């Protein structure tokens, strides 16, 4: 009996240390990344809304000439509007507007990336700018915004859609 009592604490210590070793081998829970969260939201069918703050871009020219200070800013909000439709609310304010057409498009990546728009530029309506330098769109477009990824909006001066034509740009983020 004395042997059993003397051996019991050693036996219990061995059992407990083995159990502790197994518990320590389990990986610690990890926090899901933002892409995991976006994928989970998309999988759950929760509509994703996007927003962007438009910031003026530096004028890019190939020649040596004085640049005009660009002060074009604005906001954009995108939300689902039914099957394969997106509601767009865009507000724009610009100084030194010369009356040329202002085109816009939604592109993958972040501002400054030279990517192809998610739809042909012709599907995005021209922004009419008033004499006060302000323009606004509030309409539905026949496009579907992806639920995940990085996107930005470019507003172009004139008819070009190159980086040199970008008047203002905003990185789209998920609206809260």
- pLDDT confidence of residue 23: 47
Confidence band for 50, pLDDT divided at 50, 70 and 90: very high
The residue-averaged pLDDT of 109-137 equals: 92
Is the pLDDT reported for residue 31 higher than 70? no
102-119: b (≥16 Cβ within 10 Å) or e: bbbbbbeeebeeeeebbe
Is the pLDDT reported for residue 111 higher than 60? yes
* Higher per-residue pLDDT: 9 or 140: 140
Strands (E), 16-133: 50-56, 73-80, 86-93, 102-108
What residues does 136 pair with on adjacent strands? Answer: 91
Topology of the domain comprising 47-62+69-174: Immunoglobulin-like (2.60.40)
Confidence band for 97, pLDDT divided at 50, 70 and 90: low
pLDDT, mean over the chain: 77
Tens digits of per-residue pLDDT, 130-171?
A: 888 899 999 999 999 988 999 999 999 888 889 988 999 999
In the chain, what are the domain boundaries? 47-62+69-174
Joined tokens for residue 149: 């990824």
């Amino acid at each position: 009996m004395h042997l059993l009592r003397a051996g019991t604490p050693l036996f219990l210590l061995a059992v407990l240390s083995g159990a502790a070793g197994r518990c320590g081998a389990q990986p610690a829970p990890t926090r899901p990344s933002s892409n995991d969260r976006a994928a989970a939201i998309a999988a759950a069918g929760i509509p994703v809304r996007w927003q962007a703050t438009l910031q003026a871009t530096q004028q890019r020219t190939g020649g040596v000439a004085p640049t005009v200070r660009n002060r074009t800013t604005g906001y954009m909000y995108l939300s689902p509007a039914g099957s394969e439709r997106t509601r767009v609310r865009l507000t724009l304010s610009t100084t030194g507007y010369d009356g040329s057409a202002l085109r816009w498009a939604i592109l993958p990546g972040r501002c400054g990336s030279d990517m192809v728009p998610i739809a042909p530029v012709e599907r995005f309506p021209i922004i009419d700018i008033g004499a006060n330098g302000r323009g606004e769109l509030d309409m539905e477009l026949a496009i579907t915004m992806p639920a995940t990824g990085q996107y930005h909006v470019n507003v172009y001066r004139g008819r070009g859609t190159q980086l040199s034509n970008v008047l203002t740009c905003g990185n789209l983020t998920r609206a809260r």
